Amino acid sequence: MQKHCIVLLDDEQNILNSLSRLLRSDDREIITALDAAEALEKLKNNQGADLVISDNKLPNMSGVEFLIKVKQLYPDTIRVLITGYPDLESVIKAVNNGQIYRFITKPWQNEEFKLLVKQALDYSAILKDNRELLKIAKQQRDFLSYVQKKYPQLSPNEIDKTGLYIIDEQRISETLEDFMKKYYPDGSK
């Protein structure tokens, strides 16, 4: 199982330490940064992250500005903003421009924070699974288009009947089986 990568950004080391301890888990890699430039460099070196949690009050740029950059560079990364000084303008800007997943105020409740992170990582996994299923659907569409061009005399119904467009059925079956086990573990549909 691949580890989830979480990047934590705050200019206070004690907050980073607290969040790191709170979120520590065998299936997670926690990366911390004290400023936005360091966080962006670590994201670049890691080729992105599943989740970025940023304080809003940072030196040199706000957390909202940082999350906007993260969205531009890593659009699939889930983004969470933390602030000790919430104001409506920051929330609106964060939601509209940074497209944050959640907005958290300090002090946070540990259990609620852990639940939020679990939900964000689950959402990230769903996005990745959907992307994989979409990729398979596009491969099937492209191959069907190829077969239809190569054999224009066949109608789509004839192609289906003759089984001409067999696409790595084993891989598709395994991907769909993994998806079903993950999201429907009890077998219900």
* DSSP 8-state secondary structure symbol assigned to residue 185: T
More confident residue, 177 or 23: 23
Out of 18-27, 69-78, 161-170, 178-187, which region has the weakest mean confidence (pLDDT)? 161-170
Which pLDDT tens digit goes with each residue over 115-156?
A: 999 999 999 988 888 888 888 888 887 877 777 787 676 555
Per-domain residue ranges of the chain: 4-108, 133-183
CATH number of 4-108: 3.40.50.2300
C-alpha–C-alpha distance, residues 75 and 65, integer Å: 14
* DSSP 8-state secondary structure symbol assigned to residue 97: I
Which pLDDT tens digit goes with each residue over 81-118?
A: 998 876 677 677 677 766 788 888 888 999 999 999 99
- For residue 38, what pLDDT is reported? 95
As a whole number, the mean pLDDT across the chain is 83
- For residue 149, what pLDDT is reported? 81
Which class for 101: exposed (0-12), middle (13-18), buried (19 or more C-beta within 10 A)? Answer: buried
- For residue 186, what pLDDT is reported? 72
Going through the chain in order, the beta strands assigned E by DSSP cover: 4-9, 28-33, 51-55, 78-83, 102-105
For 56, the token pair is 């809003």
- For residue 92, what pLDDT is reported? 74
User: Is pTM beyond 0.95 here?
Assistant: no
C-alpha–C-alpha distance, residues 91 and 69, integer Å: 16
